[in-house]
Structure 1
Amino acid sequence: MQRNASTRYPILLVHGLFGFERIGKFELFHDIRQALRNAGARVFVPYLSAPHDNEVRGDQLLSQIARVLQRTDAGKVNLIGHSQGALAARYAAAIAPHSVASVTSVSGPNHGSELADFLRKALTPGCLPEQVADTVVTLFADFLAALSNNRYQPRTAIAALNALTTEGVGAFNDKYPQGLPATWGGKGRGRVNGVHYYSWSGVLQSNVLKEGMNALDPLNTFCRALSAYFVTEADQNDGLVGRFSSHLGTVIRSDYALDHLDTIGQPTGQLRTGVDPIELYVLHAERLRDAGL
């Protein structure tokens, strides 16, 4: 059956930490953009600083939204942000609601990440380990940027880390609360200042045997190892973000059997049986279309 995801407004897929559009033939949003285009959507992937704070990345996103609007002659855009990309999308919608039709958070740390909290405590501010970590990670981000022709500067790993902690996101939320739930684990307002808010995310399976063939995925093993550093959401996280921390606006679902990297349709995710992360994006684009967005 022919799918129809021809949304009224263009879709921007906003990457998170260490994200990029393409390196060689590899796209970060593996097969997602093409699936959306096949279903009739206009899709763009903006360039943002791989590691930086939410507001710097949000300002970069705003400038690219303006270019997409000019290029397409559209009045607004639909923003779908993965991980930290959700925070940049939220910032853009809060600053320029007239340019944003919807914000969709996919595995977004909308209340911070316990993993970021652990790393922040492990790296004492101003001490040598923090400085070394900042240098190494920022150089890695520079390397990725060179490979992907990402022209945005500057990049700073510590700014990104601070922006993803519970404290850092809490300060961000105080300034940009649109779509946030009033209670932990609840849903937020589905529409604020004319902008529609949605979210979805996944959780690791409690028993690795339930993962099936996906247990052979090295990225799933990586997420499962990071999951050990969660306390508040110890059994309810995707390896990088807690289930309830991801809630924003209309919560479509926050317990898909998907790890943090599955939700951008990574190639190794093809080992997974059950939910198809790429299909979730097409279904959501159809949801946006049906809402007149």
Structure 2
Amino acid sequence: MKTGVPWLRYPVLLLHGLGALPLIGRQGQLEPIARFLCRYGIRAYAPVVAPYAPIAQRAHFWRRHLQALLETTRAPKVHLIAHSMGGLDARYLISCLDGYRHVTALITLSTPHHGSSLAYLLLQRPALTQRLVAQLAHRLSHWVLPEAPAALLEALECLTPAYVTEIFNPQVPNHPDVHYISWAGMAGPSTNVPITPCIAPLARYIYRHEGRNDGYVAVRSARWGRFMGTLPADHLRQIGLHLGPGAPFNAKTFFLYLCQWLHHTLEAAID
């Protein structure tokens, strides 16, 4: 594949998940991956939106970036590749903010399409604990994007299994003009895949409630649309974050594979 040749017809918008910690040392959670894809002639963009905001708010920010991308590239449509909560943002953007007019496909990676029991870990803590953690999240959010809204507790409410399955999914159905593809990640308990030590306790907690998972999202929750399979990587390594020992996984190569799949499977059908 020759570098610099725009073999992928449409540009790619990469949508990140919840949290500011993965931004340490980066301009964006997925910015290193976007730069890697650009080396292969892919018009990939990885902007940053409010890291601790509810789905609807984040989706409106993504809509602005989508519009800017369309204007910059003059492309009629884009592909979306979303990690974690970014997949829920993308679904809202497509179905509730007319994003379907400009989106060909949405690929989600470890998105909690049926919620994550991990959200209850903080929401069921004492009020003082919730307040202190929310204040820390607000400071981190201000450090990343000074003008961005920060509402950690409201964001976590959007990720509970009860909210996603009973409210979000019925109100945000798939749009028939968009292809929905999903992948899950798996590491830690009941697998032979080593997990990043700092999220191992989270994986054990989710395993007790939902089974196999990647430290943040259960495999069964990540299934949506056309399910492609399970990656031997925890939630952090899926986007190239290596914070200690764990299973080897090349996130950049995987995202390149996703772009190749989009080109050969979806764009070829358009031709």
TM-score by length of 1: 0.80
Equivalent residue of 2:65, what SS? helix
Within the candidate set 122, 136, 147, 1:119 is matched to 122
User: How far has the Cα of 1:269 moved from its partner?
Assistant: 7.8
Within the candidate set 204, 207, 215, 2:187 is matched to 204
Equivalent residue of 1:112, what SS? coil
**Counterpart in the other structure of 2:159:** 164
Equivalent residue of 1:114, what SS? coil
Quick one: distance in 1 between partners of 2:185 and 2:129?
Answer: 32
**Counterpart in the other structure of 1:283:** 257
Quick one: distance in 2 between partners of 1:45 and 1:66?
Answer: 14
The number of residue pairs the alignment matches comes to: 262
**Cα shift readout 1:126-154 (whole Å, capped 9, x = no counterpart):** x33322332222222222x1xxxx35421
Equivalent residue of 2:67, what SS? helix
User: How far has the Cα of 1:40 moved from its partner?
Assistant: 1.9
**1:10, 1:74 within 8 Å by CA — same for their partners in 2?**
yes
User: How far has the Cα of 1:83 moved from its partner?
Assistant: 0.8
Distance 1:263 1:207, change over 3 A: same
TM-score by length of 2: 0.86
Distance 1:266 1:162, change over 3 A: same
Within a 5 Å distance, the mapping from 1:1-293 to structure 2 comes to: 2=2, 6-19=7-20, 27-29=28-30, 31-95=32-96, 96=98, 97-123=100-126, 127-143=127-143, 145=144, 150=145, 152-170=147-165, 171-178=167-174, 192-206=175-189, 210-211=192-193, 220-230=196-206, 231-234=208-211, 236-254=212-230, 256-268=231-243, 272-273=247-248, 275-290=249-264, 291-292=266-267
Distance 1:27 1:271, change over 3 A: farther
Runs of 4+ with >6 A deviation: none
Quick one: distance in 1 between partners of 2:176 and 2:43?
Answer: 24
User: How far has the Cα of 1:109 moved from its partner?
Assistant: 0.8
**AA aligned opposite 1:195:** V
Please tell me the root mean square deviation across aligned C-alpha atoms, in Å.
Answer: 2.6
Unaligned runs of 5+ in 1: 179-191
User: How far has the Cα of 1:75 moved from its partner?
Assistant: 0.8
Equivalent residue of 2:93, what SS? helix
Q: Identity of paired residues, percent?
A: 27
User: How far has the Cα of 1:2 moved from its partner?
Assistant: 4.8
Of 96-105 and 132-141, deviating more is 132-141
Equivalent residue of 2:124, what SS? helix
User: How far has the Cα of 1:283 moved from its partner?
Assistant: 1.0
Higher relative contact order (CA 8 A, sep 6+): 1
User: How far has the Cα of 1:233 moved from its partner?
Assistant: 2.1
Unaligned runs of 5+ in 2: none
**2:119, 2:160 within 8 Å by CA — same for their partners in 1?**
yes
